[in-house]
Structure 1
Amino acid sequence: MNAFRFAGDMSHLFSVLLLLLKIYATKSCSGISLRTQELYALVFLTRYLDLFTYVVSVYNTLMKIVFISSSIAIVWCMRFHPVVRRTYDKEQDTFRHYLLVGVSLVLALLFHERFTIREVFWVFSIFLEAVAILPQLILLQRSRNVDNLTSQYVLFLGAYRAFYILNWIYRYVTEDDYSAWIAWIAGVVQTGLYADFFYYYFISWKNNAKLQLPA
């Protein structure tokens, strides 16, 4: 494992910890899209079908368990926790996320290296992860004023994907016959979705002001 992938994993893990901190410390999920969290739960459940059948390393297995369990815990809290669920802004979080699921599934059926259940679901998870942040970004635009923990959560999610792109570039340069074009395309699309958010986050940080997104 190279430094770029490790930094990406840690950014991803930190984003999840920030979100859990926001929910459990404040007993609020205000500004968080349940639809994005449901998409991420589906991403991890379909990507890590080999959790108990194929072990790469203890580190790899632990990360799989952390991301599956944390994503399910977040969805459960937002749906069923007696206090947290009352703070969920259902009226603002209206993006039709099932369309993203459908499109990702069609793409996975069309573009894959081997037509097996595990491979198709893995490719599906790659495509779905690329666009899973869309409901969250749209919710932030609608609410405009974004609290610090929510903005940092999105920031570290974007950083995770940016580090992974550097990881892919590093591996392409240093490894023979390394190719992962499906993940590359999805990663570039995913990073591009964060561009607008990164711009306004940088402006707010530069001016030492609270993040505000344009309507």
Structure 2
Amino acid sequence: MKAPRKPIHAVSTWVRRQPPKIRAFLAVISGMAALVFLRMIVNDHDNLFVAAESIHAIGICVLIYKLTKEKTCAGLSLKSQELTAMFLAVRLYCSFVMEYDIHTILDSATFGTTLWVIYMIRFQLKSSYMDDKDNFPIYLVVIPCVLLSLVIHPSTQHHILNRIFWAFCVYLEAVSVLPQLRVMQNTKIVEPFTAHYVFALGVARFLSCAHWVLQVLDTRGRLLTALGYGLWPSMVLLSEIVQTFILADFCYYYVKSLVGGQLVLRLPSGVV
């Protein structure tokens, strides 16, 4: 006699058996339901953006624990950390010259810890770095981001160079996690602390995306004109959505693994 399956396991099994289009539709519906829920419980939607940056910082803290306690950087992408440091450095510059606020302080802390992670991977724990697995060509994301920022950037009163820099960091942030996903795709097995870190990135991306979407809804589109004119406002929203969907599939398997009591996450082919 078969033991009854847990409801969550039954639902995840049913979802996994659906065609890709159905799964994409279900993901969109789930995202919309989550947005409605956040709109009901969060009064100040700016708190979502602060929460997103805070969760990103927590993810970095998980990496620090992994590097200091386990003395290994196996499964981590140095290239993703370098891309993260790059867009944070540009964003910090833009924050200092354009709008110094609480986000600048949070970004400064995240930037400092990211530099420390890079140092540990490059020098202290170099022997455990999977150089052969971390093979995503970063020029494939940096060059398009540069070209896109030259063409589509804010139309505010700030200096043109600062506006281009701001657009560049928005675009680069959206795709900075791709090398990390390539590493996980190559290894197929993700150890717990790396999985926790990437899941934290996924949650942070979703909260950031929710912040922008809800702000647009609450202002009935007026926020879009406040960001500038032309294609830039749409590109900001698109970048947030891209960040969320890049990590959505991984987060699904992370939660499924967590519910199933598995400490090590095993990814099916084609997940990331």
TM-score by length of 2: 0.73
Between the aligned partners of 2:152 and 2:96, the Cα distance in structure 1 is 26
Corresponding residue of 1:214:
268
Change (3 A) 1:167 1:147: same
Specify which structure has the bigger relative contact order, considering alpha-carbon pairs within 8 angstroms and separated by 6 or more residues: 1
Between the aligned partners of 1:128 and 1:60, the Cα distance in structure 2 is 18
Once structures 1 and 2 are overlaid, which stretch shifts more, 20-29 or 157-166?
Answer: 20-29
Corresponding residue of 1:161:
205
Change (3 A) 1:124 1:50: closer
Residue 205 (str. 1) matches residue 246 (str. 2): no
CA contact (8 A) 1:100 1:128 kept: yes
2:80 to 33, 36, 52: 36
| Residue type of the alignment partner of 1:211 | L
Change (3 A) 1:51 1:110: closer
Between the aligned partners of 1:111 and 1:51, the Cα distance in structure 2 is 19
Structure 1 residue 109: Cα displacement: 0.7
TM-score by length of 1: 0.91
Corresponding residue of 1:63:
106
Deviant stretches of 4+, over 6 Å: none
Change (3 A) 1:164 1:138: same
Structure 1 residue 21: Cα displacement: 1.5
Unaligned regions of 5+ residues in structure 1, if any?
Answer: none
Corresponding residue of 2:138:
97
Matched residue SS, 1:94: coil
Structure 1 residue 78: Cα displacement: 1.0
- Equivalenced residue count is 212
Between the aligned partners of 1:15 and 1:126, the Cα distance in structure 2 is 20
1:95-154 C-alpha deviation (Å, 9 max, x unpaired): 101221001101111111247111111111111111111110111121111111100100
Residue 87 (str. 1) matches residue 128 (str. 2): yes
CA contact (8 A) 1:51 1:64 kept: no
Unaligned regions of 5+ residues in structure 2, if any?
Answer: 1-43, 225-232
Matched residue SS, 2:265: coil
Structure 1 residue 52: Cα displacement: 4.3
> Within 5 Å, which residues of 2 pair with 1:112-131?
112-114=153-155, 116-131=160-175
Identical-pair percentage? 28
2:216 to 172, 183, 200: 172
Between the aligned partners of 2:119 and 2:194, the Cα distance in structure 1 is 18
Between the aligned partners of 2:107 and 2:51, the Cα distance in structure 1 is 16
